[in-house]
Amino acid sequence: MRGSKDAKRMNCQWPHKPRACPWRACVVLMLNLHTCVRGVDVIHFAWQAFASQTTNGTVSSSGRALGEDDYSSSAVDTVYSTAYAFAAQKKDGTVVTWGAPHSGGDSSSLQERLSSVEAIYSTNYAFAAKKTGGTIVTWGSRKEGGDSSAVAEHLTSVDMVYSTHHAFAAKKTDGTVLTWGHSEYGGDSSSVAEQLFSVDIVYSAHYAFAAKKLNGDVVTWGYQMGGGDSSAAFAAVKTDGSVVTWGSEVGGGDSSLVAEQLTSVVEIYSTLPAFAARKTDGTVVTWGDGDAGGNSSSVAHQLTSVKAVYSSWYAFAALKNDGTVVTWGAEDYGGDSSSVASSLSSVEAITSTCCAFAAKKADGTVVTWGGISDLAYSGGDSSSVAERLTFVDVIYSATYAFAARKKDGTVVTWGSPAWGGDSSSVAELLSSVDTISSTKYAFAAKKADGSVITWGDSARGGDSDSVAASLLPVRTADSTSSSSTAEIGSTGTTWDDSRNSGHPASQVEPEVPDRHNGTEVWHSAKPSGDATFGGFIILFLLIAALLCTLFRLFVYRRWSRYRMAREGPARDVMIQLMSTAGE
């Protein structure tokens, strides 16, 4: 660049950052704006941003781009689920629900109480929301935990809530425990109530609870804990790495056959009726129903250097340190991976449906196997979307379908079309996805802006149209609006969502905010085309530019001379060097 003349030839570049003079930033800003508005036909502006269309049709924009913090606290924070319904906890502590009413999809009768919510818990058919202060609000199937009236007066200072498929257990800050829900499946703890004090943590199976006390004692309650016909069984890892089991012998409650091997155990995994214990040396010990993963003798020699174990309903998949995978259990449920064995290398993580597995590899591709009779029915066959399964970041699952979120925020689904495997109806909306939740038969994707997109069984959470307006983020008043709120001229060109700031969206109707209590709810509306208001804005900018110019000529110049005389020439030389760089 050759001095100020060459600088004038440049396309309105931002000037050097001013030093010394505290007023110069304002002067330079207004002069720069005055220079840049030449040839402008239309100017659109939003909060903290401008966009202009010149007479030759080109467009330029400046200002602040919209970020995640620009969305108010009404954006969705986390989505929870029961078997057939969703509950979205918003950042302001309110809750939005949809899906099957008998499973918690309808919370309209207690919306006034659903405020200041910190976390939500669920059984198969009911929700429990813990509020700030430790109180609890419940809804859904009354018998399955949706009705907590019997213990409501005692549900204060709750620390944590746990659940079986059909009942809740709340641990209070004083170490006591309260239960409600289906009396046969953990909702009735009256038989052990006197023992439920000084509780450290509560564990749950499908139909029963186990509370570990601070002194190490364990208290259990729920359905037929002595065994019998129940599939309920527990396996507890002690501090010394040994394992204690109890409950249904068929379901894994009897580990006597492998008791000597159950030492130095790090973690325990389970299918519906069997257990697998991973030891510190990377070996795996299994027991329970042999056809459902309890018998791993056929692959025992391969179960070394295992770093994690995953399960479907009746099969296990062990991921080894070298990225290979070993499977065993019911073949129709993913226990046989021989058809894809050559592809199971460099695996990073594994996800499962009821009957199939999906392995994400280090290169972002996906390998699937398993499934009952028809592989596509439960996600074992992903051939129809194989070309799209690249750069995958995380894989989620419902009972019969998978959903893969890619690194670019898009989503690929496969499996049972009716139960979440087909997302074609919302494919265009599945962008910038942050995380995905699921019921048994539907998915809900939370996007980066706090909005939620759903698909799958419409009666079980896949259709959120009834609460769509509540699942949209509301932008705060200090954020950049999605489009112009005023127009100079009437060309009809506006700006699309400012997350794409700098890119014109021709002939798009702008959104205009309704302000209430400091927030803006955005509605689509046609531009007003108020030429008088537009002319006032132009006049204001020109007057401001003129005043700043006069200030620079008569006030700033004299102030500079005074400062140079007082401080010496060194700093003034630096200012001069900045303005004449390149000479």
Q: CB burial class (10 A; 0-12, 13-18, 19+) of residue 378? A: buried
Q: pTM of the full predicted structure? A: 0.70
| Separation CA 265–CA 419 (nearest Å) | 37
Q: Say what the pLDDT of residue 20 is.
A: 38
Q: Say what the pLDDT of residue 550 is.
A: 73
| Separation CA 226–CA 551 (nearest Å) | 90
Q: For 365, how many CA atoms within 13 A lie in the half-sphere containing its CB?
A: 9
Q: Say what the pLDDT of residue 533 is.
A: 60
For the cut 80, the answer to whether the pLDDT of residue 62 exceeds it is no
pLDDT digits (tens, 9 = 90+) for 204-240: 888 889 899 999 888 989 886 543 344 578 888 988 9
Residue 483's pLDDT band (cuts 50, 70, 90): very low
The answer to whether position 324 is within a domain reads: no
For the cut 90, the answer to whether the pLDDT of residue 554 exceeds it is no
Of 163, 208, 202, the C-alpha closest to 185 is 208
Q: What is the dihedral of CA 294, 295, 299, 300, to 10 degrees?
A: 90
| Separation CA 445–CA 79 (nearest Å) | 9
| Separation CA 330–CA 332 (nearest Å) | 6
Q: Can you tell me the mean pLDDT for 491-502?
A: 32
Residues contacting 316, CB < 8 A, separation 6+:
269, 271, 274, 276, 286, 293, 296, 309, 310, 327, 328, 329, 335
For the cut 70, the answer to whether the pLDDT of residue 403 exceeds it is yes
Q: Can you tell me the mean pLDDT for 292-313?
A: 97
Domain that holds residue 520: 3-69+478-579
Q: Can you tell me the mean pLDDT for 263-282?
A: 96
- Per the CB < 8 A criterion, the answer to whether 403 and 392 are in contact is no
Q: Say what the pLDDT of residue 216 is.
A: 86
DSSP letters along 49-94, please?
EEEEEETTS-EEEEEPPP-GGGB-TTSEEEEEE-SSEEEEEETTS-
Q: Extract the tokens encoding 494.
A: 């506006």
For the cut 90, the answer to whether the pLDDT of residue 487 exceeds it is no
Query: Please, what is the average pLDDT of the chain?
Result: 78
* Number of domains composing the chain: 1
How many Cβ atoms sit within 10 Å of the Cβ of residue 224? 15
The answer to whether position 14 is within a domain reads: yes
Q: Can you tell me the mean pLDDT for 144-173?
A: 96
Q: Report helix, strand or coil for 67.
A: coil
Is the C-alpha dihedral spanning 510, 514, 519, 524 positive or negative?
A: negative
For the cut 60, the answer to whether the pLDDT of residue 50 exceeds it is no
Q: Say what the pLDDT of residue 540 is.
A: 78
Residue 579's pLDDT band (cuts 50, 70, 90): very low
The answer to whether position 16 is within a domain reads: yes
| Separation CA 494–CA 484 (nearest Å) | 6
In this predicted model, which residue has the larger pLDDT, 232 or 121?
A: 121
Q: Say what the pLDDT of residue 376 is.
A: 56
Q: Which amino acid is at 293?
A: G
Residue 43's pLDDT band (cuts 50, 70, 90): very low
In this predicted model, which residue has the larger pLDDT, 236 or 447?
A: 447
- Euclidean distance between the first and the last CA atom of the chain, given in angstroms as a whole number: 8
Beta bridge partners of 170: 161, 178
The answer to whether position 568 is within a domain reads: yes
Only one residue has tokens 């199939």, namely: 356
In this predicted model, which residue has the larger pLDDT, 213 or 63?
A: 213
For the cut 60, the answer to whether the pLDDT of residue 77 exceeds it is yes
Residue 525's pLDDT band (cuts 50, 70, 90): very low
Q: Say what the pLDDT of residue 519 is.
A: 38
Residue 476's pLDDT band (cuts 50, 70, 90): low
Only one residue has tokens 């299994």, namely: 286
The answer to whether position 464 is within a domain reads: no
When computed from its CA atoms, the radius of gyration of the chain, rounded to whole angstroms, is: 32
The answer to whether position 51 is within a domain reads: yes
For the cut 60, the answer to whether the pLDDT of residue 89 exceeds it is yes
- Per the CB < 8 A criterion, the answer to whether 285 and 297 are in contact is no
Residues contacting 219, CB < 8 A, separation 6+:
192, 195, 196, 199, 210, 211, 213
pLDDT above 70 as % of the chain? 68
Q: Can you tell me the mean pLDDT for 550-576?
A: 47
H/E stretch holding 7 = helix 3-9
The answer to whether position 105 is within a domain reads: no
Please tell me which of 219-233, 283-297, 529-543 the model is most confident about, judged by mean pLDDT. Answer: 283-297
Of 64-68, 287-291, 377-381, the least confident? 64-68
Residue 485's pLDDT band (cuts 50, 70, 90): very low
Q: Say what the pLDDT of residue 558 is.
A: 57
Crossing angle of the two packed helices 570-579 and 557-567, in degrees rounded to 10: 140
The answer to whether position 208 is within a domain reads: no
Please tell me which of 237-251, 389-403, 497-511 the model is most confident about, judged by mean pLDDT. Answer: 389-403
For the cut 60, the answer to whether the pLDDT of residue 321 exceeds it is yes
Q: Say what the pLDDT of residue 41 is.
A: 44
